[in-house]
């Protein structure tokens, strides 16, 4: 089977860490590189976390720093969930690897332009880097297979009642991507809120007893503590690995083909992904939005992803 070429654009982040783990060692994914954006923490921290993850998991791909800041807004980081480091809970060894010597936005452009086969871009943070890459060189869109993003919600948000963190962090960037004409698949809170890392899940993964399971267990325990303290949740929703899980087994979600607008009006719903699930407006459809998730299948995929590090 042909491997899917992907660029993963992220802001680690506890759930980004598991997305990197899942994408980093798979027979179905050819990870061309990881680009990093400011989001859950400052770019300096999310970049360092990405290097730490790649070194610890022995994922040998270019890691490039992209945009430190959203296009228009002021960056608002999220230490209440991810801690001061952006990835609290795991002690990584000293870093011996370094960034690829290229800006993340240029890396996205050049990698996509030179790829013989189409590239899938997966974003699990604010969509700033991809939006800038599209504006810098619109020709890349001819060689992008599709854009898969963790972000948004057609039900409730998690920063405001209307908006989810990744989209709220840079609504204008999301607006550019959703209106680019690229095939967009949105994995939002509507489904990721259903994949909760209960203690039983952590115990199941701990039994695999390798370096990836150790990482999973330590990170998820802190993630859960922070989710409980911040939101009163019994367990944290493991958002970011879902688009990667979809690449590994599409049947993990059901998608609906809808019109989706990003609210950039700066009102109460700033950053909302307005998905016309019932097609009231009869507007041109531009987004596949995930509406159902097979929770058991998701954990099976995560388990296999951890086993790949044996």
Contacts with Ca ion by CB under 5 A lie at 11, 13, 16, 124-125, 240
Least distance in angstroms from the C-beta of 307 to Ca ion: 24
Residue with tokens 């430190």: 68
Please state, in angstroms and rounded to a whole number, the distance separating the CA atoms of residues 294 and 299. 9
Least distance in angstroms from the C-beta of 11 to Ca ion: 5
Q: Of the two residues 157 and 259, which places its CB atom closer to Ca ion in the complex?
A: 157
Q: Of the two residues 244 and 258, which places its CB atom closer to Ca ion in the complex?
A: 244
Least distance in angstroms from the C-beta of 2 to Ca ion: 27
CB-count burial class (<10 Å; 0-12, 13-18, 19+) for 93: exposed
Q: Of the two residues 61 and 277, which places its CB atom closer to Ca ion in the complex?
A: 61
Q: Of the two residues 52 and 124, which places its CB atom closer to Ca ion in the complex?
A: 124
Least distance in angstroms from the C-beta of 16 to Ca ion: 4
Please state, in angstroms and rounded to a whole number, the distance separating the CA atoms of residues 235 and 237. 7
Please state, in angstroms and rounded to a whole number, the distance separating the CA atoms of residues 168 and 73. 9
192, 299 contact by CB (below 8 A): no
Dihedral, 154, 159, 162, 166 alpha carbons, nearest 10: -50
Q: Of the two residues 82 and 259, which places its CB atom closer to Ca ion in the complex?
A: 82
Cβ atoms within 10 Å of 104's Cβ, excluding its own? 29
Does the annotation count 98 as an active-site position? no
Residue with tokens 């992904």: 273
The DSSP bridge partners found for residue 258 are 287
Helix, strand, coil percent content, the chain, rounded in steps of 5: 40, 20, 40
Least distance in angstroms from the C-beta of 264 to Ca ion: 21
Active-site position among 9, 11, 263, 276:
11
Please state, in angstroms and rounded to a whole number, the distance separating the CA atoms of residues 202 and 7. 28
Q: Which residues are catalytic?
A: 11
């Amino acid at each position: 089977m042909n491997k899917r070429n992907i660029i993963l654009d992220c802001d680690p982040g506890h759930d980004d860490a598991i997305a990197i783990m899942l994408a980093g060692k798979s027979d179905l994914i050819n990870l061309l590189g990881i680009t990093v954006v400011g989001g859950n923490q400052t770019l300096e921290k999310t970049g360092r976390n990405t290097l730490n993850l790649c070194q610890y998991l022995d994922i040998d791909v270019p890691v490039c720093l992209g945009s430190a800041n959203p296009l228009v807004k002021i960056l608002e980081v999220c230490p209440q969930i991810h801690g001061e480091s952006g990835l609290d809970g795991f002690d990584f060894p000293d870093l011996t690897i370094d960034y690829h010597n290229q800006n993340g936005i240029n890396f996205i452009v050049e990698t996509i332009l030179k790829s013989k086969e189409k590239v899938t871009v997966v974003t699990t943070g604010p969509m700033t880097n991809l939006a800038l890459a599209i504006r810098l060189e619109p020709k890349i869109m001819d060689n992008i297979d599709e854009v898969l993003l963790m972000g948004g919600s057609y039900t409730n948000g998690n920063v405001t009642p209307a908006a989810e963190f990744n989209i709220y962090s840079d609504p204008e960037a999301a607006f550019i991507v959703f209106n680019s004409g690229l095939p967009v698949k949105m994995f939002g809170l509507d489904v990721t809120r259903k994949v909760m890392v209960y203690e039983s899940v952590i115990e199941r993964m701990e039994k695999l007893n390798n370096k990836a399971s150790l990482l999973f267990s330590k990170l998820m325990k802190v993630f859960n503590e922070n989710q409980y303290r911040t939101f009163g949740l019994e367990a944290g929703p493991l958002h970011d690995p879902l688009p990667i899980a979809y690449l590994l087994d599409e049947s993990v979600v059901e998608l609906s083909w809808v019109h989706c607008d990003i609210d950039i009006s700066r009102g109460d719903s700033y950053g909302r992904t307005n998905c016309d699930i019932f097609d009231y407006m009869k507007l041109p459809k531009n987004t596949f939005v995930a509406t159902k998730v097979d929770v058991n299948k998701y954990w099976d995929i995560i388990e296999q992803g951890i086993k790949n590090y044996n």
